Amino acid sequence: MAFGSFDQKNNANHMVSEINMVPLIDVMLVLLVIFIITAPLLAHSIKIDVPQVSSTPVTEDPKSIDLAIDAQGGIFWNESPIPEASLREMFISQAKEVPQPEIRIRADANTRYEQLARIMAMAKGSGLKKLGFITSPASQGTAGASAAAVAAPVIAPVQ
């Protein structure tokens, strides 16, 4: 900025309020040079001829087996009653399939824990890896907060 002039005729002390454009022009020229140098580098790309393939997504639904146990100890394989003695052979045949189906156990609230533990051990011993429980949410009036939190998931996987 200019604070005065070199003219000796006017001796008054007044400021000249003009914008000095030289620094602004220098900055603009530096930016222009930078953009001129970097623009060809940004446009450069490697040309690759990628093969074109048309495919459809796989819409295979994961197979699941519904294993129900009623209060009397009856076992149902996909709604069909089966004896507990033939359950191990069915588990072994399902374990050989690729991908393995998910076994979903629905047990009555009055089912003996011993029977449920025996069936789960048979499934794990035969090589099945996906095992889960199907539960229903507890009603608000009959169950407390802890029972509602346990019964909230529809399918709870067992590791």
- Model pLDDT for residues 92-138, shown as the tens digit of each residue: 999 998 888 999 999 998 888 899 999 999 999 999 998 988 888 77
State the CB neighbour count (10 A cutoff) for residue 128: 20
pLDDT at residue 39 in the model: 83
The string of pLDDT tens digits covering residues 39-69 is 877 776 667 666 777 777 666 677 889 999 9
pLDDT at 125: 92
Q: What's the confidence (pLDDT) of residue 157? A: 57
Of residues 35 and 42, which shows the higher confidence score?
35
- How do residues 5-27 score in pLDDT, each as one tens digit? 565 555 557 777 888 899 999 99
- pLDDT at res. 136: 80
User: CA–CA distance from 122 to each of 66, 108, 114 (Å)?
Assistant: 16, 19, 12
Contact 131, 123 (CB under 8 A): yes
Element spanning 48, H or E? none
The residues, ordered by sequence, that sit 6+ positions from 73 with a Cβ below 8 Å of its Cβ are 111, 112, 115
Q: Supply the pTM of this predicted model.
A: 0.51
Q: Check residue 29 and give its pLDDT.
A: 96
Which pLDDT band holds residue 144 (cuts at 50, 70, 90)? very low
- Give yes or no for residue 4 having a pLDDT over 80: no
Instruction: For tokens 């072994």, name the residue.
Output: 92
Instruction: Kindly state the average pLDDT of the residues 79-101.
Output: 91
| CATH among 3.30.420.270, 2.40.340.10, 3.40.50.1820, 1.10.510.10 for 64-158 | 3.30.420.270
